[in-house]
Amino acid sequence: MPVTAQELMAVFMSRQVNNGDYISVGTNLPVPTAGVLLAHLTHAPDAKLNILSYFTNLTDIDRFDDLTQIANPRVAKWAEAVMSMEAMVNAITRMDICFAGGIQIDRYGNTNLIGIGSDPDNLKFRGPGSVGTSTVMALVKKYYIFTNDHSPRTLVEKCDFRSTVGWDRGGADARVKLGLPGGGPQYVITPKAILDFAETTKAMRLKYVLPPASVEEIVANTGFELVIPGKIEEMKPPTEEELRVLRTRVDPKGLLRGKA
Amino acid sequence: MSRRNSVVIALEEAAAAIPDGAVIGIGGFVTTNKPMALLRQLMRERRKGLTVVAAPSGLEVDMMIALGMVDKLITPYVGAEAISPVGPFHSKWAGRTFRVEEVDLGTLVTCLRARFQGVPFLPVMGAVGTSLPELNPNLKWLDDPFGGPPVVVAAPVEIDVAIIHASQADRYGNVQHRGAVFVDNLIAQAANKVIVQVEKLVSNEEIRSAPTETTLPCEFVDAVVLAPYGAHPSASQNYYQLDEGLMKEYLRAGKSFLQGDTAPLEGFWKKYVDRPATHCDYLAAVGLDRLFGLGLEV
């Protein structure tokens, strides 16, 4: 079976994880969860995975139960320590990697989980809420923005509301000016593309095209002007080992292959 | 010799301590450890005008909104992850039938800390640069007296009654989650009164055999209610997983209601809230086959 876009996204995320990293896996982010688990079961056995406030040892698991429901006490069987949410909030400045979703993501990597519209009391669409993202993304060493919908509806010029600050209104010193200690968003990962942020302006830039998408398709489906570099490199395809672990142990049900 | 008093009370008595207009704090996390038995009693009695301060919420808050019980909501999330990314009534009625004071988890934790630390405010970095200060009157900008960039500070949030679900407690109110406590310890500390429903009542000897497992010492607990399967349809740590089917039944009924067909949701309330007069009647309405099928290893 050919590699799906969601599998490529998971493989890319997996490669961002260093062995030993402290990572918190967020709610309702099955693709990032798959990426983190793939890293853990391949090159990052010493990563510290925090799921639902349990520190878990998942290195020897045959297969993972459920990528879709993190707030699930079944993960307790893998727990080697439990932290209160308060202790987790206190430890965010230690955290190496986290993931943020968004119903809107703007040119500078600010995200919105609050709602769409101009009047907060009369929204066109009310989102689920910020969950832990505002504080985590202010403080975590680096983070990745994830969406399953690469369209002008999600990738917008300006978010209607902001639940997290990425690079604010742009510039490499944007976060320093706000006094935010965390390292900010590194990549935006969509089913069509991997995007990063230009070094000086921090405007979103195309890094990799995920097949079968094309540059034209990506540009047409982005609600603002993306920075397009002169030469676009190809993402290194998944190795046999990455694909095998992903399909047999991380995602045996085939959620990322459109099966579950 | 004097005797220590029991704090164990009936569910109905616990619910009676929560009047219309109260500020209630709800513990648990998304679809786990929600104090559903207590909340269902409040739903049955159609408590009105509540301010709900809650940890990341599942569909229980959506149900309370649907029943017109909520005036003001302070929670970082309403949804059920992949089962339903948003709550249908929360999503449709926010700002219309109830007010929202926007927080994320770190902001909520800060508001609760400010309350029990007795300070007028605490800084919260998570709100800096976000829309939270525009969407929450408890958040204000303040110049950093140490010369850094301006910061956002959060005012205390006071809770009248906290409602929490845990694995076990003794008759004196020593509570053990035997798993994650989520934000329950902070909600309890910020509340004027704390009610904990438990799967199991245990002896004080059993609590003393593992005192490091005690998550809420009796000082933080005013009342304990025995409610086996009391978190259903959410999951309960050590006991059962969430009942996805029942959540989907609610979601289908809720969506029909919002599209104009009110009958399925009326049927849902009748079956699961109004007709069962007690918590045990509710469990009977759900059915033992179904409940016992929710073991953690499936």
Q: Do A82 and B79 touch (CB under 8 A)?
A: no
ipTM of the complex: 0.94
User: Are A157 and A108 in a shared domain?
Assistant: yes
- The DSSP secondary structure of A119-141, one letter per residue, reads -TTS-SEE----TTHHHHHHHSS
User: Are A125 and A211 in a shared domain?
Assistant: yes
Residue A107: domain span: 99-227
Local structure of A178: helix, strand or coil: helix
**Which pLDDT does position A66 carry in this prediction?**
77
Model confidence pLDDT, tens digit, residues B198-214: 999 999 999 999 999 99
User: Are A126 and A54 in a shared domain?
Assistant: no
Max CA distance (Å), chain B: 65
**Which pLDDT does position A70 carry in this prediction?**
67
User: Are A114 and A208 in a shared domain?
Assistant: yes
Q: Do B180 and A54 touch (CB under 8 A)?
A: yes
User: Are A189 and A104 in a shared domain?
Assistant: yes
User: Are A65 and A108 in a shared domain?
Assistant: no
How would residue B218 be classed by pLDDT, with cut points 50, 70 and 90?
A: very high
User: Are A109 and A172 in a shared domain?
Assistant: yes
**Cβ–Cβ contacts within 10 Å for residue A67, how many?**
22
Q: Closest partner residue to B128 among A82, A83, A165, by Cβ? A: A165
- Give the best residue of B89, B100, B130, B238 to mutate against chain A (max A CB count within 10 A): B130
User: Are A113 and A203 in a shared domain?
Assistant: yes
User: Are A143 and A183 in a shared domain?
Assistant: yes
Chain B closest-CA separation from residue A41 CA (Å): 22
Q: Do A130 and B92 touch (CB under 8 A)?
A: no
Amino acid B102 reads E
Chain A closest-CA separation from residue B85 CA (Å): 7
Q: Please report residues of B whose CB lies closer than 8 A to that of A30.
A: 82
User: Are A76 and A113 in a shared domain?
Assistant: no
> What's the total number of domains in chain A?
2
User: Are A162 and A251 in a shared domain?
Assistant: no
User: Are A105 and A221 in a shared domain?
Assistant: yes
Kindly report the CATH number assigned to the domain that includes residue A141: 3.40.1080.10
Domains of chain B: 11-119+156-240 (3.40.1080.10)
| CA–CA distance, B80 with A71 (Å, rounded to integer) | 9
Model confidence pLDDT, tens digit, residues A43-82: 999 999 998 788 988 888 888 877 776 667 777 888 899 9
Average pLDDT over residues B22-30: 97
